[in-house]
Amino acid sequence: MLTDHELVAVERANTSGRTPVVFVHGLWLLPSSWDRWATLFEDAGYIALAPGWPGDPETVEEANAHPEVFAGKGVAEVSDHFAEVIGRLSRTPVVIGHSFGGLITQILAGRGLSAVSVAIDPAPFQGVLPLPISSLRSARPVLGNPANYHRAVPLTFEQFRYAFANAVAETEARELYETFAVPAPGEPLFQAAAANFNPWSQTKVDTGNPDRGPLLLISGEKDHTVPWALTNAAYKKQSGNEAVTEIVEIPGRGHALTIDSGWKEVAETALRFVQRFP
């Protein structure tokens, strides 16, 4: 079920007459991580919505005080929640997602639910085969303990520094950690790790749907969590679609590229792509 906040956002979008842009956050972040992006896209004439994953708290403080609310949420549940939001919109939206939000963005596009999609450092879907060492190290805080499947797992600063903020100075990394980092459900990471051994994986993406729409994949050059090898493998799978499929690498950027001090470069890259398909 949608929250009151999400219902208000849908109503605001439907009465605006503008094209909606739905932002999908990934693990260890909240919808508020998109606030600056929402302003930029609204200034460009769109109407922004940043729904939460089911059960997301409103604030980082609340999230860190009650980490248990994140536990037990898988890819299918989250994807279906965003599909419900989109189903209530009067216009087909642009969808933009980061990390696991980038995976969910591609799942939604594969269902024909988005007009244009941008997947930023997206978590791998079924059929994406590379297993970079840096990705395994980034996921180790969760995958290192099988019991984490049903838990919410926070990151220490050192773990966040490696997985998200390796491409910024330590002062900025600490600021990002204190401002944005929250616990995350372990289940999606286990689902992604087992995707190529499970024919019924929840991370399956329909890359061939002719209604998928244009898709841009964005990779941060220095991303440890989703390095170029993973994003490029997703691009190769998606490029068989008859719709426009493009990939771009942002130099010198890590997994925190949507929230760090260089966020605007990434947001404007996404905006330019979206504006090509009115």
Average pLDDT over residues 88-114: 98
pLDDT tens string 154-165: 999 999 999 999
- This model's pTM is above 0.95: yes
pLDDT bin (cut points 50, 70, 90) of residue 1 is confident
Average pLDDT over residues 56-78: 95
Taken in order 102, 95, 249, 261, is the CA torsion positive or negative?
Answer: negative
Average pLDDT over residues 102-131: 96
Which residues have a Cβ under 8 Å from the Cβ of 131 and sit 6 or more positions away? none
Q: Please report where in the chains the tokens 């956050």 appear, as a residue.
A: 25
Domain ranges of the chain: 4-275
Distance in angstroms (rounded) separating the CA atoms of residues 56 and 246: 32
CA-CA distances (angstroms) from residue 103 to 35, 78, 225, 262? 20, 11, 13, 22
Residue 36 pLDDT = 98
Whether pLDDT at 250 is above 90: yes
Residue 181 pLDDT = 98
pLDDT tens string 178-210: 999 999 999 999 999 998 888 889 999 999 999
CA-CA distances (angstroms) from residue 265 to 9, 122, 145, 258? 26, 18, 37, 9
Distance in angstroms (rounded) separating the CA atoms of residues 215 and 105: 10
pLDDT bin (cut points 50, 70, 90) of residue 128 is very high
- Architecture of the structural domain at 4-275: 3-Layer(aba) Sandwich (3.40)
CA-CA distances (angstroms) from residue 180 to 61, 118, 158, 203, 256? 10, 21, 15, 25, 10
Percent of the chain scoring above 90 in pLDDT: 96
Q: Please report where in the chains the tokens 């460009």 appear, as a residue.
A: 44
Helices (H), 70-184: 75-87, 100-110, 133-143, 157-163, 170-180
Distance in angstroms (rounded) separating the CA atoms of residues 265 and 270: 9
The answer to which of 126-135, 139-148, 154-163, 165-174 has the lowest mean pLDDT is 126-135
Residue 173 pLDDT = 98
